[in-house]
Amino acid sequence: MQDEQAVYFDPAFRFYFGGQGAWQVFHHKDVQRVLSDHEVFSNEYMPKSDDNLLGSNLNQTDPPRHRQLRALVTKAFAPAIITALDAWIHQECKELLQAVREKGEMDFVKSFSIPLPGRVTARLLGVPDQDHDQVNAWINAISGDPAVIGMDAYFQAQQEMGRLFTGLLEERSKSPQSDLISHLLQAEIDGERLSMPDTLAFCIALLIAGNETTNGFLANAMYTFATMPEVQAHLQAHMEDLPAALNEVLRYEPPVQSMCRIAKMDVELGGQLIRKGDLMNVWLSAANRDSSVFHNPDTFDIHRDNIRMVSFGHGAHYCIGAMLARMEAKIAFETIFSAIKNIRLKPGVLPVRNPSTIVAGFLELPIVFEPK
């Protein structure tokens, strides 16, 4: 599509929130422009309504409001706080692996890539470390393809998550703790506290983002390493190259495939006239394989310079949890490669991809291995 129709309108394309019809954008330079030029391409693309709590979340605002909201959670993702989680995450990874290590096989998604970010996000937010399968079911319902799962599941998941956080917010308002939920209840913008819908949207968006992207990152990395034995063998012998390999996973198989924007005015992009009100769908996965930016883009190369990849977005909305996701993945695979070897896909069982145009990940990823 980069060669033939780098920007084209697909009237049948469906977004997770129900919007239909969008300009598809594939070139790296065009993707960067749409993501960074908030004067022309707005993040406020989702309908705002009582049953669509996510319509007023952090990711649905443009500057200056976005800067104010983002500042409220920046402290929770500060390097000192993230680094302080290091030893605890190591222990969580060891516990998850210990449960399956001697069996020589596991569904990596159910046994590891769902529960690990679930526990980390729960600790940061102050959510009980509860049924991760339920949380993941909510996330899949919200991020899934509405043509496959329907819109009812999207709204139902939001309502159920809203009930969870309403109860937690009531508890924290009576007895605050040192968690993000308590912090949001005390936070002010221009002397005013956040409204309850804004706070709920904040909590839901952070729970989704903290789980969904890291789950996809971990699972995509495992799939890559399990299907590239030479890369896996290299990393087992040269663990110092793990950060570079995980960085290449982010470019090669980004956990978020695409992002949405809406045009605030008529504008030309890639030789096409975009009209005010048109929805835009920019493909991060395509931008990361643009041969004008990345040499031999379809080759997995841990030594390449990936500074221009857009896997965590670009501009004002660059992922606030990028540092945490990288740290979780590094610790996870340090633990994995120290405990097991000869990891490969389970013979005769196909992995099951997540049916989503946003999240590139797996619902099931059965692997086999040998304990060290």
DSSP-based three-state secondary structure for 367 = strand
Residue 265: which residues within 8 A CB-CB, separation 6 or more? 40, 276
- Express each pLDDT in 75-124 by its tens digit: 778 888 889 899 999 999 999 999 999 999 999 999 999 989 988 988 88
- Torsion sign, CA atoms 305, 307, 313, 314: negative
- The answer to the question of residue 1 being in a domain is no
Contact (CB, 8 A) for 89 and 331: yes
Q: How confident is the model at residue 33 (pLDDT cuts 50, 70, 90)?
A: very high
- The answer to the question of residue 370 being in a domain is no
Residue span of the structural domain in which 159 resides:
7-359
- Express each pLDDT in 114-164 by its tens digit: 989 988 988 888 887 666 667 777 877 776 666 666 668 777 887 888 888
Please state, as a whole number, how many other Cβ atoms lie within 10 Å of the Cβ of residue 341: 14
- The answer to the question of residue 364 being in a domain is no
How far is it, in rounded angstroms, from Cα 254 to Cα 258? Answer: 9
- The answer to the question of residue 365 being in a domain is no
- The answer to the question of residue 56 being in a domain is yes
CATH of the domain at 355: 1.10.630.10
How far is it, in rounded angstroms, from Cα 222 to Cα 232? Answer: 10
More confident residue, 61 or 274: 274
Contact (CB, 8 A) for 280 and 22: yes
Task: Report the alpha-carbon angle 250-255-260, nearest 5.
Answer: 115
- The answer to the question of residue 368 being in a domain is no
- Express each pLDDT in 284-340 by its tens digit: 999 999 999 999 999 999 999 999 999 999 999 999 899 999 999 999 999 999 999
Number of domains present in the structure of the chain: 1
Q: Is the pLDDT of residue 282 over 90?
A: yes
Percent of the chain whose predicted confidence (pLDDT) is above 90 = 61
The angle, 0 to 180 degrees and rounded to 10, between the axes of the packed helices 322-339 and 229-237 is 90
Please report where in the chains the tokens 């000869």 appear, as a residue: 342
Encoded tokens for 249:
């996973």
Q: pTM (2 decimals)?
A: 0.90
DSSP for 49-77? BTTBGGGGSGGG--TTHHHHHHHHHHGGG
- The answer to the question of residue 235 being in a domain is yes
